[in-house]
Amino acid sequence: MPLPVEIWGLRMLVATAASKLAPAVFAKGVTRVTWTAVDDHAAPFAQADLVVKVKEPLPAEYPLLRPGQILFTYLHLAASRALTEALMKSRGTGLAYETIEVNRRLPLLEPMSEIAGRMSILVGGYCLAKHNGGSGVLLGGVPGVLPGKVVVLGGGASGINAARMAQGLGADVTILEVDLERMRFLDITLHTAHTLYSNEAHLLELLPTVDLLVGAVLLPGAKAPKLIRRDMLRRMRPGSVLVDIAIDQGGCAETSRPTTHDHPVFVEEGVIHYCVANMPAAYARTATQALTNVTYRYLELLADHGLAEACQQQPALVSGLNVMDGKVTHKAVAEAHGLAYAPPVLH
Ligand SMILES: NC(=O)c1ccc[n+]([C@@H]2O[C@H](COP(=O)([O-])OP(=O)(O)OC[C@H]3O[C@@H](n4cnc5c(N)ncnc54)[C@H](O)[C@@H]3O)[C@@H](O)[C@H]2O)c1
C-alpha cells in the first residue's frame, strides 16, 4: 500500500538502514515524493528542515543539528544533560514524541510502552530460566505448583500491558500505583491482578516473594523516581529478575544502568537486571507500524504548514516542544537539569 506521503510533494531523504528498507516497503505507487536513499548519515541533517527519527540523536549526530531545524523524535532529555545542551547549542527545535500530551495522556509514547510492557514478561520469564542464571521459576506454574509472582511498579501504558501478559500466562500479578483512579480502572479491567498503593513499606513487604519485578513508573518529562534502593534489592531471592522498562528515564532502581539488545542483562545483588533502553527495537516491524500510526498525523501537519501553524491547528504539539532557539521550553526538562524554563515562542 503506498504511504500517504504521496500527497506532500516533498523531497525526502532516507538514511542508512532505513534506505534499504523504505523504498522496497513503502515507495511502491509513491509518485509525488522524491526519494533519495542516502548512506551518508550526515546528509539529512545538512539538508532537511524537518528531521524525523525514532530514537534520540547519538553523540556523533549532536554537531549535525542546525539552527531553525526541527528534530521530531523521542528525546528523553530529562535523562541526558549532554543531549539537552547539544540541542540548546544547535538553536534548533527539539520536538519530543514522549511529551506530546493529549487529555493527560502521552499518545506518542503509548505504542512503545505497550510493546515494552508486553515484552517485559517475555524477556523476564526467559531470564528466570535456570540456564540463564534465573531462579528456575516458570511464571505460569503448572497444576499442583503455584505460579510465579510478578510485581509491576506503575500501572500506566507499559504497566497494564505487562500485567495483562503476566495475567495471561497465569502468573500471580500485583500492580503498585499511586493514582487511585487508575487503580480502580486496573482493578475492573484486569480481573485476576491485584492493585496495591505504592509506597516503600509495601515494597519492602513484597520484595522477598517476587520472582519478576517490572519497573514501569513515569513522571512525565522527569527522571524516573528511584523506588528500589540497593539495600531493598537484597531482600529479593537470588535469581529473581528486574526488568526496568523506565531505564530510558534513568530507571527506577538505584542499581539499574542502560543496556542494549547485544548485552541485555547484568547481575546486581543476585538479581538479574534487564535494562534495555530501546526494547521495541527487538520487534521492529510491529514497532514501526505502531509508531507511524500515531506520529503520522503530526508529521503531515508539520510538513504541510510549518511549526507555528501546525501548533495552532494541533495545540497538543506545543507540549512536545522541549528546546527552541537555545532555550528549554519544557518545565519538567528544565527542572530535571536545574536550567531556566522559557515558554515556547511561536511566530
Ligand atoms: N525501555 C524501553 O524500551 C521503553 C519503551 C517504552 C516506554 N519506556 C518507559 O517506560 C516508562 C513508563 O512509561 P508509560 O508509558 O507506562 O508511562 P505512564 O505514564 O503511562 O505510566 C506511568 C505510571 O506510573 C505511575 N507512577 C508514578 N509514580 C509512581 C510511584 N511512585 N509508584 C508507582 N507508580 C507510580 C503513574 O501514576 C502512571 O500510572 C517511561 O519511562 C517510558 O519512557 C521504556
In a shared domain, residues 120 and 251? yes
260 shares a domain with 301: no
* Residue 149 counted as domain residue: yes
pLDDT tens by residue, 289-328 = 999 999 999 999 999 999 999 999 999 999 999 999 999 9
30 and 151 share one domain = no
Q: Can you give the pLDDT at residue 200?
A: 97
Of ligand 1's listed atoms, the one at least distance from the Cα of 275 is 1
Mean pLDDT, residues 119-148 taken together = 98
- Note whether residue 221 is domain-resident: yes
Q: Is 225 in the pocket of ligand 1 (CB under 6 A)?
A: yes
Indicate if 183 and 278 belong to the same structural domain.
Answer: yes
Burial of 24 (0-12, 13-18, 19+ CB in 10 A): exposed
Closest CA to 291 of 98, 124, 162, 24: 98
Same domain as 80, residue 142 = no
Residues 42 and 67 in one domain: yes
Q: How many CB atoms lie within 10 A of CB 269?
A: 17
Better pLDDT: 300 or 35: 300
Instruction: Give the distance (Å) from ligand 1 centre to CA of residue 279.
Output: 14
CA atoms of 34 and 9, how far apart (whole Å): 8
Q: Is 76 considered catalytic here?
A: yes
User: Given this model, what pLDDT does residue 108 score?
Assistant: 94
| 88 or 22, greater pLDDT | 88
Q: Do the Cβ atoms of 236 and 216 come closer than 8 Å?
A: no
Please give the residue range of the domain that contains residue 50: 4-103+290-337
User: Do the beta carbons of residue 129 and residue 139 sit within 8 Å?
Assistant: no
Say whether both 238 and 302 belong to one domain. Answer: no
Among 77, 217, 273, residue to substitute to test ligand 1 (most atoms within 8 Å of Cβ):
217
* Residue 329 pLDDT greater than 70, yes or no: yes
Q: How far is CA 181 from the centre of its chain?
A: 23
Q: Could you tell me if 272 and 133 are in contact, meaning their C-beta atoms sit under 8 angstroms apart?
A: yes
Would the CB of 245 count as within 6 Å of ligand 1? yes
Q: Span 103-115, mean pLDDT?
A: 92
Q: What is the phi/psi pair of residue 223, to 5°? A: -70, 150
pLDDT the model gives residue 221: 62
Please indicate, yes or no, if residue 275 is contained in any of the structural domains: yes
Ligand 1 contact, 195 CB (< 6 A): no
pLDDT tops 50 at residue 2: no
In this predicted structure, which of 4-18, 258-272, 286-300 has the lowest mean pLDDT?
4-18
Mean pLDDT of the region 4-8: 41
* Pocket flag, ligand 1, residue 83 (CB < 6 Å): no
Claim to verify: residue 211 and residue 269 sit in the same structural domain: yes
Query: Which neighbouring-strand residues pair with 241?
Result: 212, 272
Choose the final residue of a domain: 237, 259, 282.
Answer: 282
What pLDDT is stored for residue 36 in this prediction?
A: 64
pLDDT reading at 4 higher than 50: no
Task: State pLDDT tens for residues 151-171.
Answer: 999 999 999 999 999 999 999
Segment 200-226, tens digit of pLDDT: 999 999 999 999 999 999 886 677 889
CA distance 195 to 27: 47
Mean pLDDT rounded to a whole number for the chain: 90
The pLDDT-based confidence of 99 (bands split at 50, 70, 90) is: very high
CA dihedral 17, 21, 23, 29 (to 10 degrees): -150
Residues 72 and 159 in one domain: no
Q: Specify the higher pLDDT residue, 248 or 96.
A: 96
The pTM of the full predicted model, rounded to 2 decimals, is: 0.81
Neighbours of 181 (CB within 10 A): 8
Whether residue 226 has its Cβ less than 6 Å from ligand 1: no
Assign residue 38 the CATH number of its domain.
3.40.50.720
Question: Does 178 sit in the ligand 1 pocket, CB within 6 Å?
Answer: yes
Q: What pLDDT shows up at residue 14?
A: 64
User: Is 95 found in the same domain as 22?
Assistant: yes
State the distance from the centre of ligand 1 to the C-alpha of 232, rounded, in angstroms: 20
Is residue 194 flagged as an active site residue?
no
- Which set of grid coordinates corresponds to residue 38? 542516502
Q: Tell which residue, 318, 299, 298, has the closest CA to residue 308.
A: 318
**Domain co-membership, 311 together with 208:** no
pLDDT at 333 over 90: yes
Amino acid at position 160, single letter: I
What is the mean predicted confidence (pLDDT) over 172-186? 97
Tell whether 347 is covered by a domain.
no
C-alpha 242 to ligand 1 mean position (Å):
15
Question: Total structural domains in the chain?
Answer: 2
One domain, residues 53 and 168: no
Q: Which residues pair with 341 in a beta bridge?
A: 328
* Three-state SS letters, the chain: CCCHHHHHCCEEEEEHHHHHHHHHHHCCCCCCCEEEEECCCHHHHHHCCEEECCCCCCHHHHHHCCCCCEEEECCCHHHCHHHHHHHHHHCCEEEEHHHCCECCECCCCHHHHHHHHHHHHHHHHHHCCHHHCCCCCCCCCECCECCCEEEEECCCHHHHHHHHHHHHHCCEEEEEECCHHHHHHHHHHCCCCEEEECCHHHHHHHHHHCCEEEECCCCCCCCCCCCECHHHHCCCCCCCEEEEHHHHHCCCECCCCCECCCCCEEEECCEEEECECCHHHHHHHHHHHHHHHHHHHHHHHHHHHHHHHHHHHCHHHHHHEEEECCEECCHHHHHHHCCCECCCCCC
Q: Are 247 and 276 in contact (CB under 8 A)?
A: yes
Which domain-ending residue is among 282, 314, 329? 282
- Number of C-beta neighbours around residue 223 at 10 A: 18
